[in-house]
Structure 1
Amino acid sequence: KHKISRTVSALVINTPNNPTGGVLSKDNMKLSYDLAEDHDTVVFSDEIYESLVYDGFKQTSMLEIDPTMERTLVISGLSKSHAMTGWRLGYAIGNDETISNMTRIQQNTTSCAASFTQYAGAIALTSDQSSIGLMVAEYQKRRDVITHLFNEIEGIACLNPKGAFYVFPNFVEYGLSSATLAEFFLKKIGICTSPGGVFGEKYDSYLRFSYSASLEDIEEGMAILTEFLPTIK
């Protein structure tokens, strides 16, 4: 609440979250909406990872909180739910006025997504969706493994995320910036990560690791990382 002032024009929510994998409960989604309503601002709800939640958690869309879309714009796509990352096909759900204004801008900038991409997206959405559940179950296995392996390493703390496909371990005891650590890992042992500092200054001791790789690659990469870490501490 203390971050919101008269100059704030929108509240942006990203749940499940990138980079942490954290998720907001329905109660917290409602609190976020009420906060926006109290300050007469709009809510941009980024729900691109909505299908990727674990441990029986039920993701709440902001559309459930604001079904009339009076002050809500939901942003999502098929990159995560249907593994169509390279197709760059997304969508927005909002009230008539908002979508009409967005359409004017898009028509004069990108025009539209490629037609073959739209056809593929339509098939993805109208076909059997059981593969999503299988994908989520596999991601949960990988999450459990990588989280366990990180927490086995002395000096690293790694929370168990409830969504998305990232872990965000804290390397604060190594005394190096996230950019320095990321460069070390890439150049010395061939492991690519995202430095936490790019997500905000207070995350500069964190690194984002994706577990979208195979379980075998995750285990091999973690073994290499575990062996390398004592050389820089």
Structure 2
Amino acid sequence: MTSQTPGPARGPFPGLLIAFEGGDGAGKSTQTAALAAALESRGLTVLRTREPGGTPIGEKLRSLVLEHGHGEIDGRTEALIFAASRAAHAEQVLRPALERGDVVLTDRYIDSSVAYQGAGRHLGTDRVRGINEWATAGLWPDLTVLLDVDPADGRRRRTAGDAAEDRLESEADDFHARIRGAFLELAAARPGQYLVLDAHLPVDDLAAQILDRVDALLSLRQGSSA
């Protein structure tokens, strides 16, 4: 995988950046919404966002790279499109929210590129990580929640009800297996910065475990600012 172990060094921001990662069909959107609702009920300001996307240019790039019908997109071009979207996201959305003191929840972040393009497309995880570290000027999450799902189960989840798969979702199972392995290796290399959960657990159980971990982070943040 990689010998690099980047941490959450991202500047003296009062806010908190939490990334949700995992294979397609892992339930990231469901858990992001649940965490946002729980934190907002306590009076915290929460920003939910997603990648690729999160900005006007990012949403255009999202449609270009995920929708079918745009012709062939080679792996290197794909990686750079994601990095370009992420650069705008970090500069225009994430940093301003963190500077305001918001809790920022992003559905996918740098690890998705490392896994999907670095491992899935065989571009090299270190190379893809380096591109994205430069694109975000070293903006790393305080916590990454990894929802681990078996690729076959993920496909069954995302195609339930005859839902159509996007360009990456429709890749073969071996592609998604490489992605799953890459996510797990990333988490194993930095266990203190990850919360790895079995995506097959009941939704409420997952939500409770995520909230407990975020509560611990918030307590640490409050203690260090006291």
Do they superpose with TM above 0.5?
Answer: no
Q: TM-score range by the shorter chain?
A: under 0.3
Higher relative contact order (CA 8 A, sep 6+): 2
Structure whose alpha-carbon radius of gyration is higher: 1
What is the TM-score when the length of structure 2 is the normalising length? Answer: 0.28
What is the TM-score when the length of structure 1 is the normalising length? Answer: 0.27
Q: Which has the higher helix share?
A: 2
